[in-house]
Amino acid sequence: MRVAFLGLGQMGSPMARRLVSAGHEVAVWNRSREKAREIEGARAEDTPADAVRGAEVVMTMLADDAAAQEVALGADGFAAAMAEGAVHASMSTISPALSRRLAEEHARRGQGYVAAPVFGRPEAAEGGKLRVLAAGPKEAVKRCLPLFDAVAQQTFDLGEDPPAANVVKLCGNFIIASMIETLGEVFALGRKSGVAPEALLDVLGTALLSGPILAGYAKTIAESRYEPAGFKLRLGLKDVRLVLATADAAEVPMPVASALHDRYLAGVAQGLGDLDWSGIARLAAESAGLDG
């Protein structure tokens, strides 16, 4: 399949490589052209519009709403260069509101749109072990499935309304962020009470944290290993803000999310924004009088 992949960060680069390995014809674009040149077997293009010409599916993995909107709909955005009938699969964590706007803009141009954010860190992207949350018109989702199969171990069908996938993604990220804060507090309590982090990790990992995501974050916090970042703390702040904005629009009180927002904001304010988002555990340790 002819594919354009836009956005080659820690998640996008391994995903693009997997598409090439699966035999797809891949054109790539990234703000820093060097990243595009690193994808062997792919065609590096200078602009998003150049990359999407002739593509059957355009996949985007961009940092936030501002980047996603600019690259798709800005003055030099790719939507105007996409072929009629082509599909945009947005795999970024963006707001439901922007997802709705993208769906409407693509429909106006006779193009398809699928919201397809993913669960998984860069190592999962490298191994094709992501989980895709897909929502959009059935035929558009069906066209994207071979591409999702190349980068993920599972695709969830969340219906034909694209923002539904973005809401589910934000719900999942909120759970992870909440558990990171909880684990940070737990390990601070253990350390302050004389319990070795590795001993606490052994018990929690065996008895309570059987899933790979939470077990992985528990290990990171126990070892105070927040670099290199799989997902930056400043992006965690962005996601919590999206959760709160979505909750506000739906008139759903989320007091834990409000507390998390302040924790992530404090981390960014203290210069920790480029640490892994589990680095808010350092703030919990420091609040308890411990070294982060």
Classify 245 as helix, strand or coil.
helix
What Cα–Cα distance (Å) separates residue 212 from each residue in 98, 244, 277, 279?
Answer: 31, 26, 17, 18
Give, for 130, the enclosing helix (H) or strand (E): strand 130-134
**Angstrom distance (rounded) from CA 158 to CA 264:** 29
Strand pairing class (118-119; 130-134):
antiparallel
By DSSP bridging, strand 130-134 and strand 152-157 are parallel
* 182 φ, ψ (degrees, to nearest 5): -60, -45
Nearest to 157 by CA among 178, 140, 174, 141: 141
Q: Strand 112-115 relative to strand 87-90: parallel, antiparallel, unpaired? A: parallel
Catalytic residues: 169
Alpha helices (H) along 132-275: 138-151, 163-192, 197-207, 212-222, 233-250, 255-269
170 by Cβ neighbours in 10 Å (0-12 / 13-18 / 19+) ranks as buried
